[in-house]
Chain A
Amino acid sequence: DLKVVIMGAASVGKTTIIHRYIEKRFQETISTIGASFSLKQWGPYNIALWDTAGEERFSGLSSFYCRGAGAAILAYDLTSDDSFHALRARFKGLLEAAEDDCLVVVVGTKLDMVTEENRAVPPQDAKALARELNTQQLTELPYFETSSLSGHNVDRLFEYIFQHCLPVNESGQAIAEPKNRKRSGTVDL
């Protein structure tokens, strides 16, 4: 089983992208308070998706929710320079609480709003960050540009993460011993 946490500055679209992936549609959201949580079935595994709040006042809590994460999504708004810098400034440090071999995926959001003029972050900067945050060997650079409005790259992003951490074959059976097999965030109701 796997814990995936998504972090990033306020209003970059974290809640929206998770909602897009789970519900397969785009929906207006309200700013997240504290954190929220979704469960996703992946072959034989349960995946806990933790959505954190981006507002500065919740930073301390985010590191708490980061604990034990096998994968982390660092999200920034492709049209906002600040949101990208916040990843280095505020969120990089929080990853300490995650698993040692935590997969860190850098995700630029709101691709549908990006034009030639308003793109705030050159892709190579984001890619450099992605390269810098991952120590393990990866086949594909963990960097995605997504749009929750159109759904572009959203499924690919999550499937990339799950497949990397918990490989399954086409019929959904586990292939090999998963890389991150720490128990995490299963909810006992």
Chain B
Amino acid sequence: MSIKAFELVPAIERFQLMSERALTKIVCIESCGKNIYIGTDDCFVVHYLMEEQTNQQTGKMTFTSQKIGHKYLGVKKPVLELKSASALNRLMILCDSTLSMMNMMDLEPVVGGAKIRAVTSFCVNAQPLNNSPFSVEICVALKRKSLQVYLITEDRIQLMKDISTSSPPISMALTGEHLCFATSDLYSIINIQTSQTQELFTFDESLKPTVTNISRGEFLLSAPSALGMFAMANGMSQRPPLRWSDNLLSVAYYHPYVLALNDEFVTIHSVLDQQQKQSLPFKGGCHLGHFDGRLFVASGRDVYALVPVPVQKQLQNLLSLQRVHEALDLARSALKTGALPTAAFQRIQLQVGFIEFAAQNFEEARQLFLSASLDVRELISLYPNMLPPTCPFTRQIPPLHDMADIVQVAQKDHSKICIFQEFLLEYLKEIDASSKNIPHKQEVHSALLKLYAELNPAALPAFIQSDRLCHSPDCIEHLKKHGCHHAIALLHCVHGDNTHALKIWTQIVDGELQDDSFPGFNFIVDFITKLKNETVVWENIDWLLEQDESMAVQVLISNQSSKSADKFHVDGLLERLSGYPIAMKSYLEFLVLEKELPVERFHTHLSVLYLDDVLQLMNSPTPNAAQIESARKKLQHLLQMSNLYRVQLILGKVKQTELYTECAILYAKLEEHDKALRLLVHKVKDYKTAEMYCLVNSSADDLALRGRLFHLLLSLYLDSNHERHESLVGPAIDLLNRNRHYFNTAKVLEMIPDNWSVGLLSHFLTSSIRQHLHQSRTVHLHRMLSRTHHLQLKSDNIRLDSAYITLKDDVLCSVCGRDFTDPSFARYPNGVIAHISCITSKHVCPVTGKLFGTAPTSSPSNQHSPSGDSR
């Protein structure tokens, strides 16, 4: 767990006071700015000035020192503690249980300066409560069980607080109002403003208690079993204890490290994870201290500086040892204190990220990359062939990691490589989803495309179709390599190159290319159908026809635009279809039945095709009645519905067959009803159809024709020349009964053979008479009503004509506002009067625009209101 956080650099070597022989030893040191003060065991205070130099090349720091002066205090007792107060130009000295002050520069005692006696130890408030820069707060431990807090100014020592303790205090630290102190068996914290005391914990007398101030309100205490306990001003602990060495002599804090001195080592511990980080052998140490941002440690004869290794260097050391958690902890804390700029911190995160990445701790890596906003290209560049060759990217210098690529990291193990690829895929997906405008979009998208091609080709279509930037030749090359031809085609068509795309698809269908992800022939059909591009259809129609005629026709049909309906175009198309009977038929069906194009050729062609179908079915060795029936229905429907085909041509063909129904339809077209009905009655023997025939072949408006047809049919039924005429009596009666209103009763009676009984006809006759009676009454009623109406109109007319209008001089034309000079004028029913020349319509009032009746005979002046009830 070791790391180099500090270096020992000699500051004052072979400290000598008078001569070689004098065995003077250092007891304590103090430093302030460039001044170093040494307190000796033989009652001297020695003053040095020290310069520090940094070697430009190695970055190593060296110190040169120069003795300025010394002072003998004259009591032959060791100088136990020294503290400077630079603003006051004072040095505080504890020697012979007396706290006194001297001038910092010439080491002369302060004239008339007060002294505090019976002092065992003292400390300076690290965060004084008094804001004046020209005062210092100190706390002294007295031999008699008490602590005293003083405010010291240049020439005065003023007692502020006296605190009595249960037993003599031994060690203490003061920060702000919090004073933490130890007696021989107990640590306590007291608030010097409120005197509120909090006992921390007890220990046995074998321990030498030390109290070190860590930060405002937090102290570090030595505890049994070589523990360093953290304690907050509220009496609680925020961190687990440190483990340091026994026989602790001195402790200093330099964020985030605690330095502990014993007689053999300086050990360095991190408060972040409470672990020991470094141990420097140091024999005979007596005092270690943190003075204004600098650390010095003294042995009996030498003073060394503890120079912190720059955070960056520590971090790189940790990283090179793969101690990522420590590195991150340290970097975070350095970021907080400002020792590490944000950019450098992010770089550390990235370095850690890549270490985690190499170790396949992908979740950690992901978070670090995201939080330090990694340039994705750094990551992509680790994967061979993932960056487009045109991408000008080069990796950061100095490098963030020492990996060549993932193949090297995975040691060519294919399954491992896959795991790395999966990570990249997930990471890029997340990046891609995070926002619309991600940096290096092109690189991200083409890498995603390539990864999908390798890991999950099924996801490619959706990916490609969502408009990604990955249409580079190298992407296509990559797809080709992985057999993703369908994806290539999609890419082409996303970029508008449909011809290219279709070429690939047709090759897949034809088996020239292999790609299982291609959905199949129907995909092409759908594609072309949706495309609605004439040229594309024409380019591919032959291929489509080869594949599937009816599908091909569907494509053609769905591509029918107004232009393609033009005759020339259709002819060309039909010519192309000539080799494909199914396609031809479907297309003609479309033209004739759906589009209802009035072109004789199409209708005739289709009829012939239908007829051929029927004949083929009928002539097959195993005729299928249902099939024949449906084929005939189609033919019949067409023949019946269309009026455009060449009837004679079809008739010629049909006549040679037994398709009597069809034949009848054709005769009907030629208005040869007699022949048609004869076929129906005698050949087909379908009397219902015959009856229908009469209705179908005459319009409801042309009752005369309809009547004629019915009579014709009746006469066929009654034809006594026919050998079967007996059997036709029933149909004849049915016909009469069902359609009596189309028959002329008188004529029917003439036609009926005399031998028929009245009973047979009674139904027909009674209803005929009833109908005629009804007709005659209705007509009568009509006549009378019309007469009433006529009289009414006449009366209205007379009333209107007999009224008169006087036109005076002051009456002006409502349109032009001028006088009337002519005797003729126009008057509207609403009273508006105007020149004849001024009005535009007799029926529209020129002023109000009101519309009056539009009967062509009525003039504006004798408009009559809508006729009232004429009854």
A in complex with B: yes
**B-binding residues in A (CB < 8 A):** 3, 33-37, 57-58, 60-61, 63-65, 67-68, 184-189
**Contact B237–A185 (Cβ < 8 Å):** yes
**Contact A37–B239 (Cβ < 8 Å):** yes
Given the complex, which residues of B lie within 8 Å of A64, measured CB to CB? 200-201, 229, 231, 237
**Contact A61–B238 (Cβ < 8 Å):** no
Query: Taking CB as reference atom, which chain A residue is nearest B273?
Result: A189
**Contact A189–B201 (Cβ < 8 Å):** no
Interface centre among A63, A64, A184, A185 (most CB of B within 10 A): A64
Does B329 belong to the interface (CB within 8 Å)?
yes
Does B333 belong to the interface (CB within 8 Å)?
yes
**Contact B272–A189 (Cβ < 8 Å):** yes
**Contact B223–A185 (Cβ < 8 Å):** no
Total residues of chain B contacting the partner, CB 8 A:
23
Does B627 belong to the interface (CB within 8 Å)?
no
**Contact A187–B227 (Cβ < 8 Å):** no
| A/B interface sample: 21 pairs, CB < 8 A | A3-B236, A33-B227, A33-B241, A34-B243, A35-B237, A35-B240, A37-B239, A57-B224, A60-B201, A60-B203, A61-B224, A63-B201, A64-B229, A64-B237, A67-B235, A68-B234, A68-B235, A185-B236, A185-B238, A187-B238, A189-B333
Q: How far is the CA of A60 from the CA of B224 in the complex (A)?
A: 10
Does B202 belong to the interface (CB within 8 Å)?
yes
Shortest beta-carbon distance from A60 to chain B in Å:
5
**Contact B236–A34 (Cβ < 8 Å):** no
Shortest beta-carbon distance from B504 to chain A in Å:
51
**Contact A34–B241 (Cβ < 8 Å):** yes
Q: How far is the CA of A37 from the CA of B271 in the complex (A)?
A: 13
Q: How far is the CA of A189 from the CA of B333 in the complex (A)?
A: 7
The digit string for B224-262, where 1 denotes a CB below 8 A from any CB of A, is 110101010011111111010000000000000000000
Does B532 belong to the interface (CB within 8 Å)?
no
Shortest beta-carbon distance from B789 to chain A in Å:
86
Given the complex, which residues of B lie within 8 Å of A3, measured CB to CB? 236
**Contact A67–B239 (Cβ < 8 Å):** no
Residues of B315-373 contacting chain A, CB below 8 A: 329, 332-333
**Contact B236–A68 (Cβ < 8 Å):** yes
Interface centre among B203, B229, B238 (most CB of A within 10 A): B238
Shortest beta-carbon distance from A48 to chain B in Å:
9
Query: Taking CB as reference atom, which chain A residue is nearest B227?
Result: A34
**Contact A61–B272 (Cβ < 8 Å):** no
Given the complex, which residues of B lie within 8 Å of A184, measured CB to CB? 236
Given the complex, which residues of A lie within 8 Å of B229, measured CB to CB? 34, 61, 64
**Contact B240–A37 (Cβ < 8 Å):** yes
**Contact B240–A67 (Cβ < 8 Å):** no
**Contact A57–B240 (Cβ < 8 Å):** no
Shortest beta-carbon distance from B243 to chain A in Å:
6
**Contact A186–B200 (Cβ < 8 Å):** no
Given the complex, which residues of B lie within 8 Å of A67, measured CB to CB? 235-237
Shortest beta-carbon distance from B397 to chain A in Å:
32
**Contact B240–A34 (Cβ < 8 Å):** yes
Given the complex, which residues of B lie within 8 Å of A60, measured CB to CB? 201-203, 224
Query: Taking CB as reference atom, which chain B residue is nearest A34?
Result: B241
Query: Taking CB as reference atom, which chain A residue is nearest B203?
Result: A60
Q: How far is the CA of A58 from the CA of B229 in the complex (A)?
A: 12
Shortest beta-carbon distance from B329 to chain A in Å:
7
Given the complex, which residues of B lie within 8 Å of A35, measured CB to CB? 237, 240-241
Q: How far is the CA of A184 from the CA of B332 in the complex (A)?
A: 23
The one of A33, A37, A63, A65 in contact with B225, judged by C-beta atoms closer than 8 angstroms, is A33
Query: Taking CB as reference atom, which chain A residue is nearest B202?
Result: A60
Q: How far is the CA of A36 from the CA of B235 in the complex (A)?
A: 17
Given the complex, which residues of B lie within 8 Å of A57, measured CB to CB? 224-225
Shortest beta-carbon distance from A187 to chain B in Å:
5
Query: Taking CB as reference atom, which chain B residue is nearest A61?
Result: B201
**Contact B240–A36 (Cβ < 8 Å):** yes
Given the complex, which residues of A lie within 8 Å of B329, measured CB to CB? 189
Given the complex, which residues of A lie within 8 Å of B231, measured CB to CB? 64
**Contact A34–B238 (Cβ < 8 Å):** no
Q: How far is the CA of A148 from the CA of B240 in the complex (A)?
A: 23
Given the complex, which residues of A lie within 8 Å of B223, measured CB to CB? 34, 61
Q: How far is the CA of A189 from the CA of B325 in the complex (A)?
A: 13
Given known pairs A34-B240, A65-B237, A187-B238, the reply for A58 and B272 (CB within 8 Å) is no
Task: Contacts A60-B202, A64-B231, A184-B236 known; list 5 others, CB within 8 Å.
Answer: A34-B225, A35-B240, A57-B224, A185-B236, A187-B239
Q: How far is the CA of A67 from the CA of B231 in the complex (A)?
A: 11
Query: Taking CB as reference atom, which chain B residue is nearest A97?
Result: B235
Q: How far is the CA of A65 from the CA of B241 in the complex (A)?
A: 10
Q: How far is the CA of A64 from the CA of B232 in the complex (A)?
A: 11
Interface centre among B202, B231, B236, B243 (most CB of A within 10 A): B236
Shortest beta-carbon distance from B349 to chain A in Å:
16
Shortest beta-carbon distance from A175 to chain B in Å:
27
Q: How far is the CA of A7 from the CA of B202 in the complex (A)?
A: 18
Given the complex, which residues of A lie within 8 Å of B237, measured CB to CB? 35, 64-65, 67, 185
Q: How far is the CA of A10 from the CA of B243 in the complex (A)?
A: 19
Query: Taking CB as reference atom, which chain A residue is nearest B332?
Result: A189
Given the complex, which residues of A lie within 8 Å of B203, measured CB to CB? 60
Given known pairs A189-B272, A189-B333, the reply for A33 and B243 (CB within 8 Å) is yes
Query: Taking CB as reference atom, which chain B residue is nearest A35?
Result: B240
Given the complex, which residues of A lie within 8 Å of B200, measured CB to CB? 64
Shortest beta-carbon distance from B224 to chain A in Å:
6
Given the complex, which residues of B lie within 8 Å of A185, measured CB to CB? 236-238
**Contact A188–B238 (Cβ < 8 Å):** yes
Given the complex, which residues of B lie within 8 Å of A34, measured CB to CB? 223, 225, 227, 229, 240-241, 243
Across the A-B interface, give the 5 residue pairs with the lowest CB-CB distance, nearest first: A34-B241, A64-B201, A37-B240, A34-B227, A60-B201
Query: Taking CB as reference atom, which chain A residue is nearest B329?
Result: A189
Given the complex, which residues of A lie within 8 Å of B234, measured CB to CB? 68
Q: How far is the CA of A48 from the CA of B231 in the complex (A)?
A: 16
Q: How far is the CA of A57 from the CA of B224 in the complex (A)?
A: 8
**Contact A61–B227 (Cβ < 8 Å):** yes
Given the complex, which residues of B lie within 8 Å of A188, measured CB to CB? 238
Q: How far is the CA of A3 from the CA of B237 in the complex (A)?
A: 11
Q: How far is the CA of A186 from the CA of B237 in the complex (A)?
A: 9
Query: Taking CB as reference atom, which chain A residue is nearest B235?
Result: A67
Interface centre among B231, B241, B272 (most CB of A within 10 A): B241
Q: How far is the CA of A61 from the CA of B237 in the complex (A)?
A: 10
Given the complex, which residues of B lie within 8 Å of A33, measured CB to CB? 225, 227, 241, 243
Shortest beta-carbon distance from A14 to chain B in Å:
14
